[in-house]
Structure 1
Amino acid sequence: MGFFDQFSGERDDQSRELPDTMPWDIRPSIYDHLCLHIVSEQPGLVEAGYELPDEERVNEDLELRWAAGALDGVMTHHSGASDADERVEKTVSLLLTCCDEPTAFNKYRLYQHIVEEHIVALIDAVIARLLNEPQLKHERLYELAFSFATESPDRETVKFGIAILGLYQVEENTELFLILGRHDEFTLFCAVALSNVADDGEQALWELAQHVFGWGRIHTVERLANTENGEIKDWLLREGFRNAVLDEYLAYVCATTGGLLEALRDPLVDRDLLTAAGELIEALINGGPAEDMDDYEEGATVVELYLQQLAESAETLADFLHTRAIQLYLSNQDVDWDSRVERGWTSECRQELQAVCHRILEQPEWPERVRQGLESADESLFFQANQAARVLKIPTWDYHWKRLQQSPHDASRWFHLLLVCEEPQLPQVLEFAEQQLDLAQIASGPGDALGVGKEYQQHGCLDYLLQELRRFPGQGAALIEAGLRSPVVRNRNMAVAALATWGEAARHFEPLKQAAGVEPNQSLQHNMEKLLDGQQLEE
């Protein structure tokens, strides 16, 4: 009998406020869901496992969804604290009541409070209060937390349960945290718990880090920043920094902790490590949400060693692009290089490194390698080849046209084709668009849709077309008309922006007159009316 079931027999006056069906009776528990989607010897979860049982409730009426694990980061770091103390006190009160009187009513009331108030954003404050409660019944609190973690179908209560369980040093819960932590939504909470309960917390964190690829990878790797374990340090350099959010989050941690400088001093750096080193250096150059090249004391020496290795072994398009990123960094005159001199970025150093970059990028093999990449069915390799082609000024129209014909409802292929589309190719592009896109279905009437999801796939294609039509005044009338009648706000904005380049002709475009009469967005309607009055739109 589950912990929830133990309460189901309690019936009193308060039971009238209980729903006919408890939440945990409607859907499977998240823990059971994840267990069913783990395949032995495979990292993470199978694809269906990432869709949690409470997905419909959490994302009801939302077109834009939070990435797994992202909301907690925002709520924890940026949530206002105006009512935090009051919410913490209410949570602690409900917890204490539930431990003193474990009735179905008390359990349900706490459960709903956690779900509706997103209490996990305040979990540290809740725990701090609990630790100062001398009369707290710890055995009941532990049982309550375990039931939340293993039997709940709602993510907030699972996280709450994990956080409370982490207070109790029960090593047997390590496996539980390693399972729940495979989903990025729970990794942060499991990482903290593992640090407290596992016999070897660092090893457990590393194991978990290899099973997550989004925010979970970020949360776990940040907690490995002080490791002295040689295996973990090598993994950080070769793989640990890669994640589905931004490599820039982890590049500095992995370069410093992993010992990138020492690794590049080895005259026999292998291909995988050389590629990873290039990715780390480029991420440090890009900078962003974490420490970057300006924080990296060894940066100049690392770049020098990397280019020395690459000068003799550059062969992949990734090598080409990493070298190009370094070249652009070194030649940037809009930064204060004087402040970087103490970290080794002297004028002489930069000149020497730029010369090495030039020699690598001028190697005669690159154009052929780029053309081979442009023919590749591998999306990653094609993307690299497309970037390199821009640097080498290799025409790519034919490659993009061929790819678009193979997948005409792929918005990204429209985007790349239109970037290289010029006046002579425009007629065939417009004709193809009118053949492949269901303009009547797209033009279902104005609304406030954001255009996210599979049902808006063709709207996304149209969006890129309308965006580029601003370069071709007077062209694409059928596409603009469909855009003006689209339920996606951005489509209509792009259609109006395209019409703004038509000059006087826009005033006489009948679909614009019709659209202005029914446009629900006041700002957009105002712009439509300005065009009809012969006025220019503000940039």
Structure 2
Amino acid sequence: MTPGTRKLSAEPLTFLAHAISLSALHGPGPWPPEAMDLPDEPPRADDGKLHLPSVVMDGVRTHHFGFTPDSGTVQEIAGLLEEGAPHAMLHDRLARARALEICDDLPRELARRGLSRQQVYEAGRRLAEHGTRREAVKTGIVLVGVTGDERDRELLLLLGTLEELTLYAVVALLRTQPAQERERAVFELARRVTGWGRIHAVERLEGSDDPAIRAWLLREGFRNHVMDEYLAPLAATTGDLYSALLDPEPDEALVDGAGGILSALARGEGGPTTGLDAYEDAVPALARYADLAAAGQFTLERLDHLLTIRGHLREPAAHWLPADVAALRRRYADVLAQPRWTELALAGVADPGGDGFGQAQHCALRLGLPILPQLVARLRVAPDDGFTWQNVLRLTDTGALVALAEELLPLDDLANGPGVVLGGDGHEHALELIVTELERHPGLGLPLIGAALRNRGPRVRRCALRALRAWPEPPAEGVAWVRAAHAVEPDEELRDAMNAFLTTCEG
């Protein structure tokens, strides 16, 4: 059975069977994106609402918003366990709960009621092994965590490699494994996941004195598919970044990791965690990294790191000594003045279809290089590249931009609404960017406005209406388009705005 498929029989697929299938096909992990398509994944409605997977919601709630324990559900579940309710009944009730809201209080309530460890363990193991709904499996892992032992390691690692379950598996590993093995078990799981699961796992490695873990944190462990800023502070401190950089001959992976950590800390000011301002060794580490980057390999990744750090040095921490700041600014200016960085960025934008074009253009623009022709060449091969459209918008006059958009964007295909889709593809993003700009340039881009008025995205249609409203005398063709759009507009507020526009035009 391939990942992302469903059994053809009426029997639902268990999470454990799904994990075993992925492990057989792809090894211990990380697993490919289709692993996120879990056995109980509900159909996704195209209703325009922002869809956040539950793994994202758990990550955001644990890191930013918090959550309120559900004491009522805790009592109900504890009662079912105390009564020895059938597995199916317990599973179905847990499937409707939020594991995050009961995982702390449920074990305490079960202990208060005097349930035996064996009874709780058997219920948890059955939920973990046979569960077909994510919240039930999560709670099963919690129960195994409070009553199991080292024999549950492989089950927890296997289920935990599903990012949806990693948080619960990490905590269970810390509770069930022998003291000398706990950290290594979490380390193994951390290497199997790349998103919120890695964040949850690596956070449990804070303060480790294991040389292998510390080395991994500096080279790879801080990287994740959410934001490197979440783990960069921990990697810098637990991994002792500055001491590692003092090695006379550091390996290239360490230098790359140092750049990634320091640039993430530079971006982290005001972000999800602390930034360079809170990193005690920031000044010497930044100085040492500049020396290593100047003498090592020249790559777009390192150039990006250097430019990000340079940007932070324009407004550094208030408690840094002015002499240190001045020295760092000079050092980074000297490093970036090396001609090879400019040559590298220009080489990256020379191939409009190259995989590294996006990073190369970002670097080239921060270096102040004149690359408008390369950006236009990029749009001719990738007109759905919204990032490049955004940069062209900043670098060219509106008339030339409009002409290019009318030539390259598939306007007939973009007239694909009306609808309530909040986020579209790259073409739609480009159309929204350009039509928004047209509000400041009345008289331009009527074909773009026409396509935007019929687009499936309400934001795009709203931008088109604003652009037409800015015309001193809206053209009859445009008014007719608004009249037709008004007749089928699903967004009540936008429909009222269209009606007000038509009333003004026809009054």
Q: Give the TM interval when normalised to the shorter protein.
A: 0.7 to 0.9
- Correspondence for 2:16 among 26, 31, 41: 31
Give 1:283 deviation, angstroms.
1.0
Q: Deviations over 1:447-495 (max 9, x none)?
A: 323245xxx6654453344334445432222232222223321221222
Moved more, 321-330 or 400-409: 400-409
SS at match of 2:50: coil
| Structure-to-structure mapping, 1:387-406, within 5 angstroms | 387-406=362-381
Q: Which AA in structure 2 matches 1:208?
A: L
CA deviation map 1:91-147 (0-9, x unaligned): 2222222x2xx43xxx3333222222324422111112112122x143333222112
- Distance of 2:351 and 2:222 partners within structure 1: 27
Which amino acid counterpart does residue 290 of structure 2 have in structure 1?
A: L
CA spacing shift, 1:378–1:122, aligned 2, 3 Å: farther
Identify the residue that residue 322 of structure 1 maps to in structure 2: 305
- Identity, in percent, stands at 32
Whichever residue aligns with residue 397 of structure 2, its letter is E
Q: What amino acid sits opposite 1:109 in the alignment?
A: M
What is the CA–CA distance in structure 2 between the aligned matches of 1:309 and 1:368, rounded to whole Å?
19
Q: Who is 2:138 aligned against?
A: 159
Alignment length (residue pairs): 490
User: What is the DSSP-based 3-state SS (H/G/I as helix, E as strand, rest coil) of the residue aligned with 1:527?
Assistant: helix
- Rounded to whole Å, the distance in 2 between the matches of 1:62 and 1:477 is 26
Q: Distance in 2 between matches of 1:387 and 1:79?
A: 36
Verify the 8 A CA contact 2:417 2:457 in the aligned structure 1.
Answer: no
Q: Is the 8 A contact 2:48 2:421 kept in 1?
A: no
Structure 1 distance, partners of 2:422, 2:57, is: 20
**Residues 152 and 457 of structure 1: is their aligned pair in 2 closer, same or farther, counting only changes over 3 Å?**
farther
Aligned to 1:90: 76
Give 1:303's aligned amino acid: L
Find the aligned partners of 1:108 and 1:59 in 2 and give their Cα distance.
Answer: 28
Superposition deviation, residue 433 in structure 1: 3.6
Displacement after TM superposition at 1:26 (Å) = 3.5
TM-superposed deviation, 1:510: 2.2
* CA separation of 1:301 and 1:75: change in aligned 2, threshold 3 A: closer
CA–CA distance in structure 1, aligned partners of residues 416 and 337 of structure 2? 52
C-alpha RMSD over aligned residues = 2.9
Note if contact 1:233-1:257 (Cα within 8 Å) is conserved in structure 2: yes
Q: Does the alignment pair 1:450 with 2:422?
A: yes
Equivalent positions of 1:149-298 (< 5 A) are 149-199=128-178, 200-287=181-268, 288-298=271-281
Alpha-carbon shift at residue 528 of structure 1 (Å): 3.1
State the TM-score, normalized to the length of structure 1.
Answer: 0.82
Post-superposition Cα deviations, 1:198-231, rounded to whole Å, max 9, x if no partner, equal: 2411111111111110001100111001211101
Q: Distance in 2 between matches of 1:384 and 1:231?
A: 31
In the TM superposition, residue 290 of structure 1 has moved relative to its aligned partner by 1.2
Q: Secondary structure at the match of 1:166?
A: helix
Deviations along 1:387-412, one digit per CA (max 9) or x if unpaired, are 12112332333333333333444555
Q: How far 1:509 sits from its partner (Å)?
A: 2.8
Aligned partners of 1:534 and 1:484: how far apart in 2? 18
**1:446 is paired with a residue of what secondary structure?**
coil
Match of 1:66 in 2: 52
**Secondary structure of 1:254's match?**
helix
Contact 1:145/1:164, CA 8 A, preserved across alignment? yes
Query: Mean Cα displacement is larger for which, 47-56 or 208-217?
Result: 47-56
Alpha-carbon separation, structure 2, partners of 1:60 and 1:120:
27
Match of 2:123 among 111, 119, 144: 144
SS at match of 1:438: helix
Helix, strand or coil for the counterpart of 1:218?
A: helix
2:459 aligned with 1:487, yes or no?
no
Q: Distance in 1 between matches of 2:45 and 2:122?
A: 30
> Structure 1 residue 300: deviation in Å?
1.4
Q: Is the 8 A contact 2:218 2:235 kept in 1?
A: yes
Tell me if structure 2 keeps the 8 A contact 1:265–1:305.
yes
The structure-2 alpha-carbon separation of the partners of 1:410 and 1:307, relative to structure 1 and needing over 3 Å to count, comes to closer
Q: Does the aligned pair in 2 maintain the 1:286–1:292 contact within 8 Å?
A: yes
- Partners in 2 of 1:122 and 1:427 — Cα distance? 55
Measure, in 1, the Cα distance between the counterparts of 2:122 and 2:194.
31
Unaligned regions of 5+ residues in structure 2, if any?
Answer: 1-8
* Closer/same/farther in 2, CA of residues 392 and 460 from structure 1, 3 Å limit: closer
In 2: Cα distance, 1:133 partner to 1:63 partner: 43
Q: Is the 8 A contact 1:327 1:354 kept in 2?
A: yes
Partner in structure 2 of residue 9 of structure 1: none
- Alpha-carbon distance in structure 1 between the residues aligned to 2:151 and 2:215: 29
2:42 counterpart (51, 56, 65):
56
